[in-house]
Each structure stands twice: as structure tokens, then as C-alpha cells.
Structure 1
Amino acid sequence: MVAVELEVLAKKFDRFGWERDRGSAAHDRMLVDWMNALQDFPLTEVQAACRAAVLSNPNKMPNEGHIRAEIIKARAKAVQSLPRPEPEPSARRGDPANADQIMRDIGFKPRRFGASSQGAAE
């Protein structure tokens, strides 16, 4: 389907030479280059990028690099419009209660000295 987008752009910008080259090695290489460069992107993004490239520079046929750049630019704009995640409150480092909890979580049980440990031993 990416090749179809190239065909459409070529017909829009070059009304005389594109059909003449059909089936040639150069024509086939252009199709392969477009497909290789844009195969990882959804077709809807490729189509939107083709429209954006044509609108931004209507006198020049975009190549696969222009289309890829338009896709990246649109994705960056979409990411910027997303709400920022709230940072998770972290426990204060060095807090004794936090340190004790971490030690219990990993299974560390220190021996305690004092009256309670002597009473348990007797």
C-alpha cells in the first residue's frame, strides 16, 4: 500500500514521466526504497504524512525521507499533547521506618538484645 501512495504522489507531480518509467529498474527501485523506508509505519500515518508534505511544499514531490520526517513530527506533536504523568511520591531516603520496612521485605531479621529476647530464651 505504501507503493500506491508513491504512485499517487508521482502522478500528482510528474504527469508525463512516471508512466513512461513503469517496469524499469529505476521505477522498481523507487518503489522498493519507499516500501523499505516506510514499512514500519501504519498506512494511515503514511497517508497523512503525504498530505502534510504536499501541503507544506506543493511545488516539490516529497521523497521517503520527507514522509518519514512528517510522520515523526506528527508523532512528536501527539506525544506533546498527552497529559504529563504525575510523579509518584517516593519515600524519603534515610527514613528509619522506611529502612526497617525494606529490611523486612527482603527477609533480614536482626537479633534484638534486651529483656524480651532473654525472656524468650528461658
Structure 2
Amino acid sequence: MLAMECEFLAKKFDRFGWERERNTPAQDRLMLDFMDALQDFPLPEVQAACKAAVISNPNKMPNEGHVRAEIMRGRAQRVRDLPRSSLEPRAKRGDPANADNILREIGFIPRRICADSDQQGAK
């Protein structure tokens, strides 16, 4: 599917006379580079990035670097759009003053060793 995205872009811009280059090592290499650079991204994200790359620079054939940059810009924007937490930051896990609260929060109530044997049985 990534190879098809590369072909769609190339046909839009008629890069290097794309049809004349069909089944040549040069065209195969262009497609392999495109696929290698974008293989780790979901297809809908690649498709959206291809559209964004064409819109942002309509006079230039986007290459895999342009598409990848658009993917990264889109991801950064989605992270920026996430709602910010209004909660105060939690106490650090290593804070001894907060240790009992942390243990209760996760549902663990430890048995305490006490000097008085009567108190130990009560706990």
C-alpha cells in the first residue's frame, strides 16, 4: 500500500516521466526508499501526510522525508491538543512521608511490627 501511495504522488507530479520509468531499477529504488522510510507508520497516517505535503508545497513532488516530516508535525499537534491535567502533581514515589498513602492507594495494607504484642494482634 505504501508503494501505491508513492505511485499516486508521482503520477500527480509526473516525477521523472513516471510511466516511462515503469519497471526500471531507478523507479524500484525510489519506491523502496519510500517504503523503507514510512513502513512503521499506519497507512491512514501516511495518506494524510501525503495530502498535507502536497497542500503545503503544491509545486514540488514530496519525497519520503517530506511525508515523514508531515507525520511528525501531525503527531506533535495531536499531543499539543491533548487536554492538560488540572490535578496537582502526585507526591514522588520515594517520599517516605507519603509511603502509607501510596500503599493505601494501591490497596496494600502492610502488617506493622510493634513492640507491644497486644497491639500486634490488633493490627
TM-score normalised by the chain length of structure 1: 0.74
Aligned to 1:90: 91
Equivalent residue of 2:20, what SS? helix
- Tell which structure's C-alpha radius of gyration is larger: 1
Segments of 5+ residues of structure 2 without an aligned counterpart are 104-108
Gap change, CA 1:24 and 1:100, over 3 Å in 2: closer
Q: Following superposition of structure 1 onto structure 2, how do residues 24-35 of structure 1 map, counting pairs within 5 Å? A: 24-35=24-35
Aligned to 2:52: 52
Using the TM superposition, give the Cα deviation of residue 89 of structure 1 relative to its aligned residue in structure 2, in angstroms: 3.4
Using the TM superposition, give the Cα deviation of residue 4 of structure 1 relative to its aligned residue in structure 2, in angstroms: 0.7
Q: CA RMSD in A?
A: 2.9
Q: Percent identity?
A: 57
Aligned to 1:13: 13
Aligned to 1:120: none
- Does residue 1:109 correspond to 2:113, yes or no? yes
Segments of 5+ residues of structure 1 without an aligned counterpart are 118-122
Aligned pairs, number:
112
Alpha-carbon deviations, 1:67-107, whole Å to 9, x = none? 0000000010011100123344328x564xx46777xx676
Using the TM superposition, give the Cα deviation of residue 111 of structure 1 relative to its aligned residue in structure 2, in angstroms: 3.9
Work out the CA distance in 2 between the residues paired with 1:77 and 1:68.
Answer: 14
